[in-house]
Amino acid sequence: MQLTKHFTLEEFERSGTAAQLHIDNRVPAALVPNIRHLCEEVLEPLREHFGEPIYVSSGYRCAELNKAVGGVRNSQHMRGEAADICPFSPSTDKAGRLVPDSHSPEARKKMREWAEWIMDNLHFDQLLREHSGNSYWIHVSLKREGENRQMAGRLKIELLEQRAPPSLLEMAEIPEPSSPTRSLS
Ligand SMILES: [Zn+2]
């Protein structure tokens, strides 16, 4: 299902971990508007501004998948409000397919530029530049209802030694506070 010009629902359902563990990670119909909203307000404007394809390394996560990848409880990924993204490599693989790049200096520079542009131009709830070992990605979330916090930061994800590589890009985020946030101003 096409959500916006450059993003499909399938990109948000795809997960190496879900495939490996036979987890049904299809998005419930009730959550599709949340994902479309995130695409319309954040991912598509980012895609249009830089004119570069964006890889969604982790989009929607059903509860089982979220648990399997070690996501925080109550993760915004479970409500279709968050995406982990990284760029693609400029070169393709042997079959001519684009390859996501989460580790090269060029990719890291690009993600810094993406994060800065999002911060300066878009509404969001959380914008986190996350990394774990050699992998870097941006976690960005947006709520369709309720207050968006414009919270930006960096987060190092500590991985368990035994965690398998396919999970590398499907990590955590800062938990939402249990009580509603109050405006400080
Ligand atoms: Zn995330």
Q: Would you say residue 172 lies in a domain? A: no
Q: Would you say residue 177 lies in a domain? A: no
Task: Look up the CATH number of the domain holding residue 29.
Answer: 3.30.1380.10
pLDDT of 62 reads 97
Distance 127 CA to ligand 1 centre (A): 9
Q: Are 22 and 64 in contact (CB under 8 A)?
A: no
Number of structural domains in the chain: 1
Task: Convert the pLDDT of each residue in 108-165 to its tens digit.
Answer: 999 999 999 999 999 999 999 988 888 999 999 999 999 999 998 877 765 433 333 4
Task: Convert the pLDDT of each residue in 72-118 to its tens digit.
Answer: 888 999 999 999 999 999 989 999 999 999 999 999 999 999 999 99
Q: Would you say residue 173 lies in a domain? A: no
Tokens 């207050």 -> residue: 147
Q: Are 74 and 61 in contact (CB under 8 A)?
A: no
Residues with CB under 5 A from ligand 1 (ion): 84, 139, 173
Name, in order, each residue with C-beta under 8 angstroms of 120's C-beta and a sequence gap of 6 or more: none
Strand partners, 129: 138, 154
Distance 76 CA to ligand 1 centre (A): 8
Q: Per-residue pLDDT averaged across 45-64, rounded? A: 97
Q: Would you say residue 179 lies in a domain? A: no
Distance 170 CA to ligand 1 centre (A): 6
pTM score, two decimals? 0.85
Q: Would you say residue 19 lies in a domain? A: yes
64: containing domain: 2-167
